[in-house]
Amino acid sequence: MDLKPRVLPIDRFVAIYNAALAGLWAAYVGRAPHAAWLALAHVAAAALPALLRRAPAPLSPSLRTLRELYPVIWLAGFWPELGLLQQLRIPPTFDQQIAALDLALFGIHGSHVNLVWMQRMPYLWLSEPMHFAYWAYYLLIGLPPLALTLLGRTAALRDLVFRLMLTYLTCYAIYLVYPVYGPGLTLPRYAGPLNDGLFYRLVDSALGAGDSPGSAFPSSHVAGAVTIAYACSRWLPRRIATLLWLEAIGVLVSTVYTQNHFPVDALAGFAGAWLLQIAVAGPVARWLGGCSTVPGPVLPVFAPTPVAAAAGSDR
């Protein structure tokens, strides 16, 4: 991977998303007091590739770190922005269609799996590991990029960040045109002794502080977890990749047990992320003007990529 270009595929990809959001917010100028400011902010963000071409070289260490991680940092703004747009637009949702599909594929005696699973298995020894797996997703987002940054694995970091943003922004675009509130907001939730569990409360607090309505299908939690596991399996030793895949599978299962998603939401997130990494990431990276490091296997390569050798080429 060429580490010298000042403007990378990820910069152009995020700029395209910012330009689209700028146009969307511009349509609401005059109808929402913050629309004009958000439209201007996205226009400025879309101009970042032009600014990067004129940036002094070399950048200071702190600016280099910010330059590599800024797309992931911006997720903290892109995610709640979805909720603002849904509240402003109040578009028709597709919950009825997705709920019917889930019942047809995974229904149990006319009910959804996520409605009956916790009720039929109200065991603390099961609930707490499930909620821990769901809660650990938030660590999964931040720790791998931070670790690769601290290790100086620039090529691995850029590969991970590009793949992660491709997955998340694709999910966000789907939410804007095909909003689904999901069972967490439309169906009754479990109430009982399990509500007092530590990780149950942590998950409940996290969702209460940062959930965005309309973002249930496909599950971006599952899609993001699968993407991180896939990308890291290309660069890190097998034992680490295996742990990340176990957590990704834990997120896939726990999103259903914790009643936040239908099984069809979770499987759509898994399949969508897999398709993006196998078939889309490489062509998109090449189209945006960069060299793709995507190999062609159907399954990810778990053999430890020679870290020592790669470290020298990453810097």
Q: Rounded mean pLDDT of 42-60?
A: 86
Q: How far is CA 3 from CA 68, 100, 219, in A?
A: 11, 48, 32
137 closest CA partner among 106, 168, 116: 168
Q: How far apart are CA 252 and CA 270, in angstroms?
A: 8
Q: Rounded mean pLDDT of 14-18?
A: 97
Q: Identify whether 58 is preceded by a cis peptide bond (ω within 30 of 0).
A: yes
The answer to whether 264 and 101 are in contact (CB under 8 A) is yes
Per-residue DSSP letter, 93: P
Per DSSP, the three-state class of 180 is strand
Q: How far apart are CA 246 and CA 266, in angstroms?
A: 15
Both tokens assigned to 156: 């691995």
- In this prediction, residue 291 carries a pLDDT of 52
Whether residue 74 is predicted with pLDDT greater than 90 in this model: the reply is: yes
pLDDT in tens, 180-222: 999 988 888 888 888 888 998 999 888 777 778 889 999 999 9
Q: Give the phi and the psi of residue 29 in degrees, each rounded to 5.
A: -60, 130
- In this prediction, residue 81 carries a pLDDT of 93
Q: What percent of the chain is helix, strand and coil (3-state, nearest 5)? A: 70, 0, 25
- The C-alpha torsion from 229 through 234 and 236 to 238, rounded to 10°, is 80
Both tokens assigned to 110: 């006319």
The pTM (predicted TM-score) of the whole model is 0.87
H helix runs in 90-219, sequence order = 95-106, 113-120, 124-150, 154-177, 183-186, 198-210
Whether residue 62 is predicted with pLDDT greater than 90 in this model: the reply is: no
Mean pLDDT of the chain: 87
Cβ-based neighbour number of residue 232 at 10 Å: 25
Boundaries of every domain in the chain: 82-314
